[in-house]
Structure formats: structure tokens, C-alpha cells
A and B are shown apart, each in its own frame.
Chain A
Amino acid sequence: MSRVPPPPALPRDLPPPIDPTKTHVVREFTIDDYPLTTCRIDPTGTYVVAGAEDFQIYRWPIAGPASARTVLRGHNSWVRSFDFSPDGQWLYSGGYDDRIGVWPLFDPNPAPARMVVAHDGWVRWIRTSPDGRLLASCGNDNLLKVWDTQTWELVREFKGHQRYPYAVVFHPDGKRLASFDLMGVLKEWDLASGKTTRQWEAKFMWGFDQKFRADMGGARDLRFSPDGKHLAVAGLTEVTNAFAGTHKPLVLLVDWETGKFQKKFRIDGRGAAWGIRFHPAGFLVGSGAPSGALWFWKDDKEKPFHTTGLSGGGRAIDLTPDGRQAAVAQIDRKLVIVQFTAKVG
């Protein structure tokens, strides 16, 4: 039946088990002057990259040291979204300068191989297909676009969002896309036909400020569980004053098969959830701003079972491939590496 497990490593090297309640910061990379906008860890677990308000992309070896930092220059505005080719060789960046940057991640000093003008207005989000052959993007022209990552030709346009789509993501089956817009409209698209196959309205993740006559809402992160059964949308709820940012963080968990809104993970406090990940150990971890915290949920309860405070608001979170660590891009100019285990030694 099952194979005998490999012998354990030497006892003194035995890593402590995953325990979110023991989450602690193991490393900090700080940049000068500018808040970070987002971050990702490449699929090989070698690098962490972060965007900043100075338009630059910063790359660090995830294991450090901080001095091994490389700066990637090419965008003329903020980068709010990254993704990679499945082998980690290529870094893709979506910028508010309307362009997608294509970077050889493992070059000593990566220069953009291409800067693709992708949208009329900000590129708000990009996401690689599971096989890496396609890249989806969405932007301020209210369009979703799918690109061929070899030729960078446009494969298909998806029209239908009436207001800014904030994020787009491939379903793990590679045949479908999900996208979420300012007004809380969640759409499922068929990749082959370009048509909307299902649509939801998560109105509670949107608010209209009567006084100022303005809409506040949208997804700050959008993520399928690896098995494709769930979609998590990070954002906000209970908008009472859009212009003062008076609203609460919320992560919506959608059962993708039934289409039901399975859970609304709530945080009692002001702000928005800016990042969400499905951890292989069976919990969800989110980050938020303006006050910095990591929230840990299980799908049985709306309130987090654990919260870890951070020094600054988190704009994004991403996990290492082994799930033992995560990177958080913070407003206080820090890229923080946390570990979900007890401290060693």
C-alpha cells in the first residue's frame, strides 16, 4: 500500500510544526522613503518581489540578506500586481502606467524583455494561467484581456464589467476565469467563448456614499483554492463614509461549485482586507490595512481564530511554496517575512 516514509532528518534539524498562533517575523527588508504596494514569492521559493510607490520593483532572495536587493526599473507608475511563469523564470508585472512588464527573474540585473501596453488606463491585476501559456489582465478600460505569453499577442477580450474590474484570476482547471469589480459584481467567464457563464452580486462588498455620491468597493485580492473548489475575495464591507475610509475588512469565501457565498470572514475594525491565501494546512491567512495584522480563519467561524499584529498595514501577502513562511508588503516601507511556526532556538 503506502510506502514507508523516508527517515526523518537529524533530530536537531527537525523543523517545528506549522502553528499559526506562533506566527512571528523572521526577516524585514526595508526600502527608503516609499510605501510598498504589493509583493509575491516566485514558484521556486527563491525570490520575493515587491512594488513600491516610487514605481520600482524590488527583488530580494527570500532567505536574505537585505543587502542582496536588486531594483527593477521600467514602469512609470505603481505596480500593483505580479505573477510568474510556472517555472519561475519570468516575472510579470502589471502597472498603473497601462503596461505589463515581462522580466527575466533570475538575471543578475533584470531589465524588461517587454513592456506591453495592455489597457487604456491602469493595469489593475494580472494572473498567469495554470499551464503558463496565457496571462489574464484587467484594467481601467473595464476590459479583461488574455495574452499569449510567448508572442504577447492579444488572445481574447472580455467585455461586460460596467465599472472597474479590480482583479481577475484563472480557475485551476485553466478553462475559466473569475473577475470582481468595484460594484461587487463577480463574474465567471468561459475562456474559449469569452462569454460570462455565471454572475453574482456581492453588494455587501460595495457602498455608495450618499453624501459624496461615490462608489467604494472592489476586490483587493482574488484567489482560488488549489483544488478549485473555493474562491476567496479580499475587500471591504459596511461603507459608512467612503471618503474617510470608514469601512470594515471582509473576506468572502465562495463555494465555486454551488455558487453559494459560503462564509463572510469579518474583522471588527476599520479598513480593508488586502491579501488572502489558502494555506495548505487548511486555514486561510489574510492581511489588511491601515492597521497591520495577519488574520487566520478556518471555514467554521467568521471571526479569526488568531491574529498576529504587524508594524504596518499589509497591502499583500504571499506564501512560500512549502507554506512555512509568507511575505507581507507593508505601508511602512517594510517587506516582512513571517514564519507560521514557533521560534527556533
Chain B
Amino acid sequence: MRRDHGCRRADHEFSRRGFLATGAAAGVAGLASPAVSKQLRKGQKRVLQIYLQGGVSQLESWDPKPGTRYGGPFRAIPTSVPGMHICELLPHTAQRMHLLSIVRGINLKTNSHHDGRLFMEMGRRSGSFPYVGSIAAKHLTPANAPLPGYLHITTRGLTDNTNAFLDARHAQLKLAGPKVPDNLIRPDALTVQAARRSGELLKRLNRRFSGRGGQKAFTDSYNASFEMAEKLMARRDLFEGKPDPKDLQRYGSHPFGRNCLLARTLLENGATVVKVTHHGYDTHAENFNFHLEQLGEFDNTFCMLLDDLHQSGLLENTLVMVMSEFGRTPKINVRYGRDHWGTAWSIAVGGHGLVPGAIVGATNKEGTEVSEREVDGGHLFHTYLQALGLDSTANHDLGGRTVPIGDPTRSPIKELLA
């Protein structure tokens, strides 16, 4: 009897006509109209996360120590913020430091890629907790968002359980660069009409099944996976269009350039969290030659993206972080490499909710330890969420069980919050 409950209610709207008419009105494509995008653009908070995978050297980026024992061969250059110097490998970024701030006193107390990455993403040293991107996606993605909330553009497959105990719709969706994701395209044999009406039937069936009670989280997650898939299918154009040659020239035609262009497109089209991974910083050998290459690529491309977000006004609503899983040892090894170093390193942040042009924390003269305002992944995690206007001291509600969103033993970096 319960089983028919849903059907009875639906009988009024359930008809042949219903199958034929639905889709056009309910389709997600409508959301992508410029007017809607613009509206979204105004209000919606977003996150742009650039992950320099492998551990960028703080000495070759945000915390140069030229002429000191472990300083390496590169010089420090002045930036658009008086008194602030960064490494000469970031000349373009240097001109935009008034938009960003530097956190120089990070100590993660781990030198493991895995643990460092999780600490920086989860704000917890261990355990299984949602990534900052997953939490941001959960709380900031509007119900009618035209794209899945959390998109990660990466050319290499690192396995992340980004949503932990949160619903799967808040998990990162991996994109292998500006190419059409697997199975995105409707099979030729299936007409638009057939796809639409069978999709409607599926929704009816699933609504009915959800109506029987049971574990709502399971059925919700299942239904959400189709909604996300549909959103992606509706925005196939985002993945297949050829980039504007002018843009490509500005961003660079290498994968990172193309990925950042895609990131811009996604942010402009209603994505909430976009993470772009730039690979290749784990420089145990030839640290200086490799940083020349990698940061050369990063510097220009990142700045083009930053400029575009700034110009379009998106930056106002977008939290930007440029992070790694750790930095690199001050000591230069016998292969001209620097090794893993979670003890005293830096990241750059900016955009929504943060004070720009600041330097928080410091390392000692030779960069071997934090000398001022030591923070770790836990503090950063609170800072990111609070910058986005989310209460990081509240709890995740897991149906009866509660879990603190941020580590209760950590607090945000108040001086960074605008």
C-alpha cells in the first residue's frame, strides 16, 4: 500500500503528455544562460585551489633567503607590496602580490607526501575527514548550480577520498584536462527525446523508491550522481570548444595553461570549487633547474588566471590558495636537490574574505625553523572556511553523531581574515 503512495500522488501529473513535455522546462541547460551566470557570478562564493604537487620549494618561491647558507642561486625580487620580496622565479606574481598574502610559518611535523597532503586538505593530521573543497562545495553550491560543486583538473590520478563521510555529491569530480570526460556523450542511437523521457521515467522510479524511507543518504547520493552527470552533459561545450588562440597565447599552450583556462571557464560558468594540480615539484635532484621550469610555467599562467578573475570581478568572491603538501629542505643535497620538508614553509592565499598584501609568520635567517606565528594545516583549514563565511567551529551532523568541522584544538589565523 505504501508502495503505491507515491504513484497516487503522481497520477495527476503522470501522463503521456507529461513524458513528452518534460525536459525542456526542467532541463539544466536553461541555467547556463548568460543572465543566470551573471547572477551566479555576483553572489556565489567560490574557491580556486592551485596545488603544486610534490612540494614546491618555499626558498624558490614565497620565502627566499638569498645569500644565506641554504639560499640557493636565485635572488629575491621586490613585489607590488612595499617591503615584500619573493623569489625571482615569480616575476609576474610579484607584480600581483597586492592581491595575495603569504603564510610563512607553516609546520606540519610530517615529511610524507600522503600525510602532508591530507593535513593540508582535511585540516587534520590523520583520520578520514572531508577535504576543504568538499566542505566548501557542500555549503556554497546552490541547489540549482549548473555544474557539480567540486571539480579537480589533474593529469595524474592520485586517489583521494575527498568527501569522507559527506555525501558523494560533494566529492571532487576529476577532470583530466580540457577534454570531454569518459561517457559524457550520449550514444548516437539514442535520440534526444528518448534520452529525455527515459531519464524522466528513471527519476519517477527513483522518487518512488526514495519514498519508502530507509537510508535517505544512500538514495540521495544515487540520485545526485545522475543530477551531476546531467549537469556535466549539459555543459559538454565547456570541454570541447577550442580555446581562443589569444587566451592560449596568454596562458601558454602547455597542459597547465590549458587546465587553468578550463578552470577559468568552469568558475565563470558556475563551478563552486575548482582545483588545478600542477605536477612536478618533488625535486630531490636538480631542484633549481626544475623549479626554473615548473615555476616559469606556473608564474605566467597563474597570473593570467588571476588577472582574468580580477578583471571580471570574480576574484572578490573567490578564495584563492596556492598550496603544496609541504616545502623543501633548506639543505641542498648532493644531487642539487632539496628533500621533503614540512617543518618551515609557506603558501600564498588571497581573494574572498582575506586581507591582501600581508605576510603572516616567518622563518629564521636560514629558513630552518619557524620563528614567528607557527601554524599548521588545522589553522589554515579554519582560516579558509571562515574566509568563506562558514563557521569552521560548528559540527558536521551525521544523523545523530556530530563531528567538529575544523579541529577544535586549532583556530583560524585571525590576522588574515578580512
Contacts and interface: CB of A to CB of B under 8 A. Distances in A.
Interface of A: 33-35, 53-55, 76-78, 96-97, 121-122, 140, 164, 211-216, 242-245, 271, 289-290, 312-313, 331
Interface stretch (B33-41, B69-77, B103-111, B299-307): B69-77
Nearest to A95: B73
Contacts of A213: 155, 255, 279-280
Given A215-B293, A243-B280, 7 more contacts: A53-B72, A76-B66, A76-B67, A211-B156, A212-B279, A214-B293, A271-B335
A256 B45 CA distance: 64
A35 B332 contact: yes
Contact of A243 (B75, B282, B292): B282
Chain A CB count within 10 A is highest, among B255, B280, B289, B293, for: B289
A270 to B, nearest CB: 9
Interface string B74-87: 11000000000000
Interface in B288-314: 289-290, 292-294
Q: Nearest 6 CB-CB pairs, A to B?
A: A245-B285, A290-B334, A245-B335, A96-B73, A212-B280, A78-B73
B330 to A, nearest CB: 12
Contacts of B69: 33-34, 54
A77 B285 contact: no
Contacts of A97: 75
Contacts of A35: 332
B75 A77 contact: yes
A121 to B, nearest CB: 8
Contacts, number: 67
B289 to A, nearest CB: 8
A196 B75 CA distance: 33
A245 B67 contact: no
Nearest to A75: B73
B412 interface: no
Contacts of A290: 333-335
Contacts of B293: 214-215
Please classify the interface of chain B as helix (H, G, I), strand (E, B), loop, or mixed, using the class held by over half of its residues: loop
Contact of B285 (A34, A76, A140, A243): A243
Contacts of B337: 243, 245
Nearest to A272: B335
A291 to B, nearest CB: 8
Please classify the interface of chain A as helix (H, G, I), strand (E, B), loop, or mixed, using the class held by over half of its residues: loop
Contacts of B255: 213
Nearest to A246: B285
Contacts of B73: 53, 77-78, 96, 122
B368 to A, nearest CB: 13
Determine the interface band of chain B, counting residues with CB < 8 A from chain A. 20 to 34
A182 B8 CA distance: 73
B407 interface: no
A245 B333 CA distance: 11
21 contacts: A34-B69, A35-B332, A53-B73, A53-B332, A54-B69, A76-B66, A76-B67, A76-B75, A77-B73, A77-B75, A96-B73, A121-B292, A122-B73, A140-B292, A243-B54, A243-B285, A243-B337, A244-B284, A245-B284, A290-B334, A312-B334
B200 interface: no
Interface of B: 54, 66-67, 69, 72-75, 155-156, 255, 279-280, 282-286, 289-290, 292-294, 332-335, 337
Contacts of A215: 293
Chain B CB count within 10 A is highest, among A33, A164, A245, A289, for: A245
Given A76-B75, A97-B75, A122-B73, A242 B332 contact: no
Nearest to A140: B292
Contacts of B294: 214
Given A213-B255, A214-B290, A77 B334 contact: no
A121 B288 CA distance: 12
A289 B335 CA distance: 7
Contacts of A244: 284-285
A330 to B, nearest CB: 10
Contacts of B286: 216, 242, 245
Contacts of B72: 53
A77 B74 contact: yes
A54 B69 CA distance: 7
Contacts of A331: 334
Chain B CB count within 10 A is highest, among A77, A78, A313, for: A77
A30 B156 CA distance: 45
A78 B289 CA distance: 13
Contacts of B155: 213
A302 B156 CA distance: 39
Contacts of A271: 335
A117 to B, nearest CB: 13
Nearest to B290: A214
A53 B282 CA distance: 22
Nearest to B294: A214
A336 to B, nearest CB: 16
Contacts of B282: 212, 243
Nearest to A331: B334
Chain B CB count within 10 A is highest, among A164, A242, A312, A313, for: A242
A35 B71 CA distance: 13
Contacts of A55: 67
B74 A212 contact: no
Given A76-B66, A214-B290, A243 B279 contact: no
Contacts of A245: 284-286, 335, 337
Contacts of A289: 334-335
A86 B75 CA distance: 33
Nearest to A312: B334
A172 B156 CA distance: 48
